[in-house]
Structure 1
Amino acid sequence: MKLFNHVQIKVKGLGRGRKFYDTIMAALGYKMVLEIEGVVVGYGTSVHDMFEIRQFDEKSLLSEHVHLAFNASCKEDVDAFYKIALANGGKCNGEAGFRPQYEDGYYAAFVIDPDGHNIEAVYSEKAKVSPIANSSNC
């Protein structure tokens, strides 16, 4: 069984958030699996395995200082994620590379998204994550 059904963060602007997340999620091989126009967009493998961004409002307060790490199928996907994120408004929070302090074979990149969230893409040689069907870099 998977740990999560879905995870959601609230963003300042759904259009701006979508522009950023459409590109980085595609780089990692994830597709859009849910859209409620003007409210929420979900990315992943299904509606029961997804990450969502939602437009904040007075009932759904803005998420602050979230750290999310997305699985990548290979190091090349991590590299693509990093480059695409920077080209689409992300800020460097750690270039792509090995992080032996976490574990041997842990290859990751970190960016700050347009709303200040710490977003990571990680390929772990030890985790042996199954390749994502849509990944094109591996």
Structure 2
Amino acid sequence: MFDHVKFGVSDYAASKAFFLKALEPLGVVGGAEGDPSYGVELCGRGDSSLCLNQAKEKPAPLHIAFVADTRQQVEAFYRAALEAGGKDNGAPGLRPHYHPNYYAAFVIAPDGHNIEAVCHQPEA
């Protein structure tokens, strides 16, 4: 749906490390990178990317949901994100109020952004 999303972070090194580790189970890797004011592009499936850059202003919290192919990827994302310094905002589990197979986990990233991994597939 989008080509890329770019947002500012208050601690570039901490946020870069957090997102690379937390999103690794979902197949996200570091791409093009410039100085911190330019930032880094995080690439995964398809042609879209998430870009982070050092900013002076602290942005309002975002909610970003990443696609997971399996429920095991959701669980791996959650563990990796907590190990990377994220804060729990919803352990892996079904959220049937969205739909019967909505399996997701939520963590709060270093700047307060709500980061989600979601699998829409039934359990294998």
Would you call these one fold, judging by a TM-score over 0.5?
Answer: yes
With the length of structure 1 as denominator, give the TM-score of the two structures.
0.81
What's the offset of the Cα at 1:125?
1.4
What's the offset of the Cα at 1:62?
2.9
What's the offset of the Cα at 1:48?
4.2
- Which residues in structure 2 correspond to 1:106-121 (within 5 Å)? 106-121=102-117
Amino acid in the other structure paired with 1:115: D
Residue 42 of structure 1 aligns with which residue?
A: 41
What's the offset of the Cα at 1:56?
0.3
8 Å Cα contact 2:8/2:53 also seen in 1: yes
Encode CA deviations 1:100-123: one digit per residue, 9 max, x unaligned: 101111110000011100000001
With the length of structure 2 as denominator, give the TM-score of the two structures.
0.90
Structure 1, unmatched stretches of 5+, are 127-138
Amino acid in the other structure paired with 2:114: N
Amino acid in the other structure paired with 2:52: I
Residues 1:124 and 2:123 aligned together: no
8 Å Cα contact 2:27/2:44 also seen in 1: no
More strand by share: 1
What value does the CA root-mean-square deviation take over the aligned residues?
1.7
Residue 63 of structure 2 aligns with which residue?
A: 67
Encode CA deviations 1:11-64: one digit per residue, 9 max, x unaligned: 00110101101101212111112211323111123894101111103xxx3322
Corresponding residue to 1:22 among 17, 20, 23: 20
Residue 51 of structure 1 aligns with which residue?
A: 50
Residue 134 of structure 1 aligns with which residue?
A: none
Corresponding residue to 2:5 among 4, 7, 24: 7
Residue 100 of structure 1 aligns with which residue?
A: 96
Structure 2, unmatched stretches of 5+, are none
Corresponding residue to 1:90 among 86, 90, 93: 86
